[in-house]
Structure 1
Amino acid sequence: MFARSLTVPGFALRILAATTMLVAAVLLSACGPDSRAEDEASRSDRPRVLRIGWVPNDEDVERRARWEGLVDYLERRLEMRVELVQTASYSPAIEALRAKKLEIVGLAPFAYLIASQKGLALPLVAAGTADGAPRAYRSGFIVPKDSPLRTLDDVKAHASSITFSWADPASTSGHLVPRAHLESLGIHAERDFKRAVFAMNHTASILTVKAGKVDLAAVTTTSLQNMITKGRIAADDVRLIWESEPIMASIIAIRADLPEAFRAEILAAYLAFADEDPEAWERIAPLYLTEGVRWVAAHDRDFDALRVLARNVEHLELLGE
């Protein structure tokens, strides 16, 4: 796939017709080598391979194929080898950043907070609109269609008999936000519910509720609607009994210890992707389930409110020192 040389041609000076060969030689010796040296020095700070982490989703069997257009684009633009690396969930992705086995990875907001707290990641881009605003989504609690639970007051009243499912430990909508809301009601899942488990992804949580294997689950409402749209479940297979306020959506993060100039080069490439390779972008855009979506620059400050929420959740040590 990758066949371009990493060597960049030296800077060539244009000599006016009236300029003598001697002046040209002086100019070339004074300016050319320094320019080449600076360019080669900047390239030497790059990793040998740019590895992009992705988390599989059984609701989109083409997910890996969707990202291969980005790989081709980045190889052409950056003139370096790019690889896709599959991770099972957010937690292994964070560990891969720590082990320097990934340079870029998609992370849920809470997963980003964890990686950021550990000094492992910085925000790169997020899904957003043409005006540069980042996309948001929501968390929710679902129950089986025939459940007697209608409200969170019912959940609190019958907590001791309820089996419950979180999604991934590093999920925002499947763990952090719903945990904070339960605690605001005086409900501590591991203490008050009959049993609380991690399904490790939203799809598994939803299907577990549909099958009646748990009484209650915390999921992203986006995943719920997507499964209904694709016919994986019927609209009345489960019931939504609570929905959160909008949450900052997932982002693509970059390893924090990479050189600043290289991070800037990557950011520029990602922001230009939709315009420079619209056909490849059209393969990725459907993942965001939003019309007219584009990548916009993401900023750490976008997560300040969520960071405060995380620090106020009891017994949650993932953001500890």
Structure 2
Amino acid sequence: MFKKLISTAAMSLAVLASSSAVVHAQEAGKEINFGIISTESSQNLKQDWQPVLDAMSKKLGVKVNGFFASDYAGIIEGMRFGKVQVAWFGNKSAMEAVDRAGGEVFAHVMNTDGTEGYYSLVGVPADSPLKSVDDILKNSKTLNFGIGDPNSTSGFLVPSYYIFGQNKVDPKTAFKTIRSAEHSANILSVVNKQVDAAVFASDTLALIEARQPDVANKLRIVWKSPLIAADPLVWKKDLPAATKEKIKDFFVNYGKTGPNAAQEKVALEKLKYSGFKESSDAQLIPVRQLELFKEKTKIEADNNLSVEDKKSKLDAINGKLAALAKA
């Protein structure tokens, strides 16, 4: 009898534990984690994005949490494993999220001047003798260089192609030292002369200019990339259709309509945006082309590949490039 009571009690506890787990799962389903890539300190990013997240929470009727990680990969992996449902990415990291984490682009940001893109920049200290990228490459063996996160479009992919790929330079061996950091850290490293030159995004520089003009004045820009498509917003593709519709409606109308539009415009100004615009995975096509061009350059320079292997790999890349051109 006693054993039966113990067994019954154990079963009851198991049922309670199971019920509790279900409740927690249901509660988790009532929350959305919004991933924010680490372009600068988490404290600054949280301060700037919180009004948007609060408004999103009110609009959707669920709690929206900011999800921060120390690097871009943390947000991508968070989406992959269901810890992040919506995120603000750069184009390169968005491509990774789409390909590896079940993500889908649904909108992109708009700059305060109405433009739909930004630039990758290379800066040096204002009193540096370096005047151009050519100067940097000619003197690279004596220079300390700062580059961005490997999943950053403007911090890594764009300069890797336009500066290093087109000049057939391997940045890993070209410089005295090379370090990877987020955009604002690279700016400060240049200003403090911890590196001789570094890559960062124009939108991050705009924030520094607004918050710390004395810091921005100690910089000089020596290179500016072609226009990069504006940062995309990505959601988990398997979100319910009704939820996705609410999310898209919230962003495309944020700061434009409704009783809180004026307040929302103030929040957008802090982010250096004028609003958000509907988009799709198609905006990632130029980034995919850059990645393929970079891969193509590597294969062409690889003398360890047989003629047959090299031709096969190059044919495959050219086929992908042709398909993207049609798209």
Superposed, which structure 2 residues align to 1:152-163 within 5 Å? 152-163=133-144
Match of 1:278?
261
Tell me, in whole angstroms, the C-alpha distance in 2 between the residues paired with 1:228 and 1:265.
35
CA 1:95 to 1:232, structure 2 compared with 1: closer, same or farther past 3 Å?
farther
Q: Identity over the aligned pairs, expressed in percent?
A: 22
Alignment deviations for residues 102-135 of structure 1 (CA, whole Å, 9 cap, x no partner): 11111111110111121421112212379xx862
Q: Which residue does the alignment assign to 1:251?
A: 232
Q: Does 1:113 align with 2:95?
A: yes
Q: Distance in 1 between matches of 2:207 and 2:63?
A: 34
* Residue matched to 2:7: none
> Is the contact made by 2:86 and 2:236 (CA closer than 8 Å) also made in structure 1?
yes
CA contact (8 A) 1:127 1:296 kept: yes
1:171 Cα deviation from its structure 2 partner: 1.3
Counterpart in the other structure of 1:18: none
Q: Is the 1:52–1:84 contact (alpha carbons within 8 Å) kept by the matching residues of 2?
A: yes
| Between structures 1 and 2, the one with greater helix share | 2
Deviates more, 1:89-98 or 1:76-85: 76-85
Task: Answer yes or no: is 1:164 the counterpart of 2:142.
Answer: no
Alpha-carbon distance between aligned partners in 1 of 2:207 and 2:252, rounded to the nearest angstrom: 26
1: distance between equivalents of 2:211 and 2:62? 37
- Say whether 1:313 aligns with 2:291: no
Matched AA of 1:108: G
Partner of 1:198: 180
Deviation per CA, 1:159-180: give whole Å up to 9, x if none: 2222111122211111110111
Which amino acid in 1 is paired with 2:67? V
Pairing partner for 1:94 from 76, 94, 108:
76
Per the TM alignment, residue 101 of structure 1 is displaced from its structure 2 partner at its CA by 0.6
Amino acid paired to 1:204 = A
Once residues 59 and 210 of structure 2 are traced to their aligned partners in structure 1, the CA distance between those partners, rounded to angstroms, is 36
Shift of 1:77: 3.2
CA distance in 2, matches of 1:66, 1:235: 20
Which of residues 116, 124, 146 is equivalent to 2:127? Answer: 146
- How far is 1:223 from its partner? 2.1
Residue 67 (structure 2) aligns with:
85
Amino acid in the other structure paired with 1:296: K
8 Å CA contact 1:59–1:227 kept in 2: the answer is no
> Which residue does 1:7 correspond to in 2?
none
Count of matched residue positions in the alignment of Structure 1 and Structure 2: 269
Q: Of 161, 181, 184, which residue of structure 1 is paired with 2:162?
A: 181
Q: Deviations over 1:191-242 (max 9, x none)?
A: 222221102x111101111111111111112322432333354454122111
1:211 alignment partner in structure 2: 192
Counterpart residue type for residue 90 of structure 1: Y
For structure 1, the residue ranges without an aligned partner over 5 or more in a row are: 1-43
Which stretch has the larger CA shift, 146-155 or 228-237? Answer: 228-237
Q: Name 1:30's counterpart in structure 2.
A: none
Residues 1:304 and 2:288 are matched in the alignment: no
CA–CA distance in structure 1, aligned partners of residues 275 and 43 of structure 2: 22
Question: Cα distance 1:224–1:134, how it changes in 2: closer, same or farther (>3 A)?
Answer: closer
Q: Report deviation, 1:265.
A: 2.8
Q: CA RMSD in A?
A: 2.9
CA distance in 1, matches of 2:244, 2:130: 49
C-alpha separation in 2, matches of 1:226 and 1:80: 30
Match of 1:229 in 2: 210
* 8 Å Cα contact 1:141-1:241 kept in structure 2: yes
Structure 2: how far apart are the matches of 1:166 and 1:193?
11
After alignment, is 259-268 or 208-217 more displaced?
259-268
Contact 1:54 1:85 in 2 (8 A): yes
TM-score (norm 1): 0.74
Question: After the TM superposition, which of the residue ranges 180-189 and 227-236 deviates more from structure 2?
Answer: 227-236
Structure 1 residue 58: deviation in Å?
A: 5.5
1:136 aligns with 2:117: yes
Task: Note if contact 2:254-2:275 (Cα within 8 Å) is conserved in structure 1.
Answer: no
TM-score (norm 2): 0.73
The offset of 1:60, in angstroms, is: 9.1
Taking a change above 3 Å as real, the CA distance of residues 78 and 222 of structure 1, as seen in their structure-2 partners, is closer
Task: Give, in whole Å, the separation in 1 of the partners of 2:109 and 2:167.
Answer: 32
Structure 2, gaps ≥5 residues long: 1-25, 300-316, 318-327
1:49 corresponds in structure 2 to 31
Q: Distance in 1 between matches of 2:144 and 2:41?
A: 25
User: SS at the partner of 2:267?
Assistant: helix
Contact 1:166 1:198 in 2 (8 A): yes
Structure 1 pair 254–239 and aligned structure 2 pair: CA distance change class (3 A): same
